[in-house]
A and B are shown apart, each in its own frame.
Chain A
């Protein structure tokens, strides 16, 4: 009995309430992917409506029941799905899923620590995230349905429970869920920052940190500085909704009735929301950029080009992300001079972004590239970062933005630059560090197939959206077939939906590969990609503490690949030199 009790306790503390960063990382990954899968299903369902408006689909009726009578999605449910898709993908998959997984897995392993600064806070961070996921999903099933005001939940639509069905209980749950989510994110960020600053192993100076760690550090700093402001925004909204205050509301008529609110402004919400919202783009993107920097260098068997420039450009991006929020608000009656200031700061981001792209390409250039799925997805990120970034120049410019504001052009832009780049970075990370996460290898052929389907279908979905936007097709509309001026665009919408279905099928290959390999994949060697960073020096099997005996010391930066001597021979007989190898005489440390 007591042994049984002991085992049950072991199970509980090993797999459920674990304080080991590696287990917490897996918890974030699995939860994030489950949420991401739901977000993907939602988008595929509403793409059916957009591609073939008003047509009946058995699958839609099967999955949505009374929300789609006769197989046609109800308009209010369409709005709810669009809102939930955005919320889930931005926050639950690409913020918590991405940062939570890789910051947790890699920070202690790559800086040389046995665990995070506080395992307890780390565990709390995951469970707050889990609760926020449950609350968000529960909101789908309450009266009136889930929040439907778009993922940006602008008032007055979100502030008046009587506005639309989704502004009722669903919206309340959205706000509660996000508040819990913010607490989770803050607890995580606190831990990441303190671990990187205070628990590095001997010799691990800041110029010897892998770029992944730099990216996670800057992401966490962005989180600590911007999420509290979203919490403030949400709090004021809760008061307006439930206690009759007027922070965001003024002179509102609804159903012929004058409401008692006066003096507030919905623009205030936009300021507060986008003060988080824009850094949030980089909270999503920076970890992906860090992950791919590491993978591209390792898989090109070349040192990263411009290590310090990479750090500097990430710092510049992080800093600039706080002074560009106004570019989301050019059409709010903003003073044109202020608009020009925001245009200027926004366009400045092109400079560090271009530095990063240049460095990626020069690292790949003449490299001895090993084409794993991780490499492919990393190169895919470079592609989407360029093509999505270029359209950012149009949207960042207030004069041009006016023409395409709130059209599909915007949808195409941010899905490519933020959505695809971040998810490609996440896939790259999963393929690359799967051996570290599960001690097994994923199937490369399935991974390669997954990549090609994903990139072709993703461009197939989002590239044509720019043409829709140029033609003035507005985003978020339930159906475009009601407006004669958009009739010519219907074929493009059908094509986009076909690619969306293709992309959905492509992800099934990934999920199969992921689950199968986690249990049945071939056992992984300790250092499958011949990497230099510290995580590959820890044993394959997981135990709390990461290294047997002493934590290894570090003597060099992590990008000593293909280092040759004057005779053209590899310095240490291999094309990689782990960070734990002491510097030889006359050998210079690359990061300095």
Chain B
């Protein structure tokens, strides 16, 4: 009898194929619960009666357009790889990466705008609602950084032409997470707009 070793490459590939997507989906569920908890906290706090409204910075609207566009372009990259067009795929992924960074920049612009209007994140002059705006957006960015790292890995693999029609699992996982980040932002945007702003 032969011992099955875990170092067997085809075995590991098989496991990866079976488990990568479910792993990211369940990870996404836990992130949804995390933000669900925080946004519920906003609603519970609002019940206290002392909740003030805050003007939403226009930069956050630009963020929304940017992240939606990035999702569309990333998807276009996936389609290009399926067609074997690595050159277009590379450009799409680079564009997604740039849009991701632009998203962070517009978020930062929004914060500057809030700060200039006397809406503070922390300290004695902060209020519950002002802190929530900064916290929710910053935590979204923290998750987006994970997405950017995965984008860089996908970019390297695309440059090396590692993805094939049968094997583009890494890219599919990355794109799932990226779309989720977009959806999460849209939720936060409307939540902030209608609940706090």
**Does A445 lie at the interface of the complex (its beta carbon under 8 Å from any beta carbon of B)?**
no
B172 within 8 A of A: no
- Would B23 and A194 count as touching, CB distance under 8 A? yes
Closest to A243 in B: B122
Q: Are A224 and B127 in contact (CB under 8 A)?
A: no
Among the listed A226, A232, A245, A263, which residue makes an inter-chain contact with B38, where contact means beta carbons less than 8 Å apart?
A232
With both chains docked as a complex, state the minimum distance between the C-beta of B29 and any C-beta of chain A, in angstroms. Answer: 6
List chain B positions with a Cβ less than 8 A from chain A.
1-6, 11, 15, 18-19, 22-23, 26-27, 29-31, 33-34, 36-38, 40-41, 44-45, 48, 50-51, 121-124, 126-128, 131, 135, 139
Out of B11, B22, B126, which one reaches A114, CB within 8 Å?
B11
Q: Is the CB of B5 within 8 A of A228?
A: no
Which residues of chain A come closer than 8 Å to B34, judged between CB atoms?
228-229, 231-232
Is A236 part of the binding interface, using a Cβ–Cβ cutoff of 8 Å? yes
Docked-complex contact B33 and A228, CB < 8 angstroms: yes
A543 to chain B, nearest CB (A): 6
Q: Flag whether A119 is at the interface (Cβ < 8 A).
A: yes
Interface centre among A226, A228, A239, A544 (most CB of B within 10 A): A228
With an 8 A cutoff between CB atoms, is A505 at the interface?
Answer: no
Interface contact B127-A246, CB-CB below 8 Å:
yes
Within 8 A of B (CB), among A217-261: 224-229, 231-233, 235-236, 239, 243-247, 260
Q: Which of A166-174, A264-272, A392-400, A486-494 forms contacts with chain B?
A: A264-272
In whole angstroms, what is the CA distance A235 to B45 when docked?
A: 16
A residues touching B (Cβ–Cβ < 8 Å)? 19-20, 114-115, 117-119, 121, 186, 189-191, 193-195, 197-199, 224-229, 231-233, 235-236, 239, 243-247, 260, 262-265, 267-268, 271-272, 275, 543-545, 547-549
Given contacts A228-B30, A229-B37, A544-B6, 14 further A-B contacts (CB under 8 A): A114-B11, A118-B23, A194-B22, A198-B22, A226-B33, A227-B30, A232-B37, A244-B123, A245-B122, A245-B126, A246-B126, A260-B123, A264-B128, A548-B2
Contact B3 A225, beta carbon cutoff 8 Å: no
A492 to chain B, nearest CB (A): 40
Given A244-B122, A263-B128, A268-B45: A114 touches B37 (CB 8 Å cut-off): no
B29 interface neighbour in A115, A225, A264, A543, Cβ under 8 Å: A225
A-B pairs, top 6 by smallest CB distance, nearest first, are A229-B37, A228-B34, A260-B124, A232-B37, A117-B19, A243-B122
Q: Are B131 and A119 in contact (CB under 8 A)?
A: no
- Complex alpha-carbon distance, A265 and B123, angstroms: 17
| Residue among A114, A226, A263, A549 making CB contact with B48, cutoff 8 Å | A263
Query: Is B48 a contact partner of A190 (Cβ separation < 8 A)?
Result: no
Contact at B15–A117, with CB atoms within 8 Å? yes
Distance from B96 Cβ to chain A, minimum over Cβ atoms (Å): 26
Roughly how many angstroms separate A190 CA and B11 CA in the complex, as a whole number? 20
- Residues of chain B with a CB closer than 8 A to A115's CB: 6
Closest residue of chain A to B48 (Cβ to Cβ) is A265
A226 CB contacts on chain B under 8 angstroms: 33
Residues of B within 8 A of A190 (CB): 23, 26-27, 30
How close is A250's CB to chain B, nearest CB, in angstroms? Answer: 8
Contact A272 B37 (CB under 8 A): yes
User: B residues within 8 A CB of A271?
Assistant: 40-41, 44
A270 → chain B closest CB, angstroms:
10
Q: Which of B26, B29, B41 contacts A232 (CB 8 A)?
A: B41
CB distance from B100 to the nearest CB of A (A): 23
Contact of A233 among B27, B37, B126, B139 (CB under 8 A): B37
